[in-house]
Amino acid sequence: MPSQVVNARIRGFICLNAHPGGCAANVSGQVDAVGRVLAQAGGAHARVGDVLVIGSSTGYGLSSLITTVFGYGARAVGVCLERAPQGDKTASAGWYNLAAVHRLARAAGRPVTTFNGDAYSRAIKDQVIQHLKASGARLDSVVYSLASPKRTDPATGVSWTSVLKPLGAPYRSKSISLGSDQITEVELAPASDADVEATRKVMGGEDWELWLSALLEAGVLAPGCRTVAYSYIGPELTYPIYRSGTIGKAKEHLEATARALHARLADQLGGAAYVSVNKAVTTQASSAIPVVPLYISILYQIMKAKGTHEGTAEQIARLYRDHLAPGRMPTLDADGRIRLDDREMDPATQSAVAALWPQITSENLFQLTDYAGFKQEFRALFGFEVPGIDYAQPVETDLAI
C-alpha cells in the first residue's frame, strides 16, 4: 500500500489530485452538519427506507447520500464515475469521499453500495436494477444529481458536450482569473442552435426520465416514491450566462421533465417528482463558469455576515427535514419547484451583492469579498487546506470504496 505526502496540483479551476485524509475530514464534517440541522427539528424523525443517489460522490449528490444514510438511516445505493488510485497517482476526490462514507457506514451498520461507471449508460442502469431486485430493495427516494459536461446517448451512441454560452448576443462581464487572482473581463459568443440542443441533451431531464422509466418498469420503486433533481436559478446578475443561456434552456427541460414524471409517479405509485432549486455553492463545475466565482465570493461575504450561509450538507439536510422526509409535504413556488435558494435570493442579500459588484477591483478583491474563503473551499473539495490535517505527513492513498 503506497503512503506518500500529497501536495495539491491545481491549474486554474482544475485540481489534478486529491488528499484522502482531507476528503475523509470533509465527509465527517458533513455528517456532523447534517446532525446539527436535523436536531433543530427536535425529537426523532422517520426513517427513509431505500434510496438511490445518481451522482453520489461530490457536491449535492454526496450530501444527499450522507443526509439519507446518516440522518435518516437509509439503505443506500449510489452511482458515480470516479478515478481509482493507481500506483503513486491519487484517486479522484469523489473516490476518497465515498471511501470515507463506506467506512463510516460500515461502522454504523448502515448498508451502502456504490456502482462506479457511466450513469448515462444502459449497462449501469441494468446493474443497479439487478442489485435492487437481488437485495429486495424498493426505492422510497431517488436523487438525480449528475453534473457531467458530456453524455453519450445510449440509444444512438451520439456523444454530446454541454456549453456555457449566452443566447442571441455576445455577453461581456467582469470575472476572476483563478490562476492570477485578478479581475478580468470575459466575452462569450452567443450559442448556436446546436449548442442549445447539446446542452439540453447533457443537462436537461432526458437521462433522469430514462432512469425513472427503467426503475418503474423493473418494479423497484416503492409506493409513494419521490424523486428530486437539483437546479439553480441565481440572480439577474448571472442570467445571461446561466438562466437565460444554454444552461437555462436545459434547466427548463429539467423542470418540464419533473412535471411529466410527477404525473406518472402520482398515477402509478402515489409518488411525486420535484426540482429543488438550491443556492450557489463552490464546486468544480461552478468554478468553471465565468462570473460565478466572483458572484459567489461576494455572496459568501454577505451571507456569512448575516449568518445565513449554508454548504451543501446544510442545504440537503434542510431539504429533507422541511420538504422530503417521510410525512412531510414540500412547499412549492408558483412553478412547482422547491426553493432552497430562499436565503440567497433574499432581497436584502441581493441588494447588497448588486451594490458591491461594481466596486470590486483586483486591488480590493480580498478586502471586499470572501474570495479567500472561495479559494479555500475550492481546495477543500479535493481534501486540501482542510483544518486539522497535517499535510507534511505521508498518507495512505490506495483506498478502496
Catalytic residues: 242
Phi and psi at 140, nearest 5°, equal -90, -25
d(CA 380, CA 253): 32
Q: Cell triple for residue 357?
A: 459588484
d(CA 183, CA 186): 10
- Decide: helix, strand or coil at residue 85: coil
Q: Which residues contact 396 (CB under 8 A, 6 or more apart)?
A: 1, 2, 3, 20
d(CA 139, CA 218): 11
Q: Which residues contact 68 (CB under 8 A, 6 or more apart)?
A: 48, 51, 53, 74, 76, 141, 143, 320
- From residue 247, alpha-carbon distances to 54, 167, 325, 329 in Å are 20, 10, 29, 29
Helical packing angle, 206-218 and 122-135, nearest 10°: 30
Q: Which residues contact 202 (CB under 8 A, 6 or more apart)?
A: 148, 149, 150, 151, 160, 161, 162, 250
Contact 26, 33 (CB under 8 A): no
d(CA 351, CA 223): 44
DSSP string, 190-241: PPPHHHHHHHHHHHSSHHHHHHHHHHHHHT-EEEEEEEEEEE----GGGTTT
Helices and strands per DSSP (H, E), number in the chain: 13, 15
d(CA 260, CA 273): 8
- Decide: helix, strand or coil at residue 276: strand
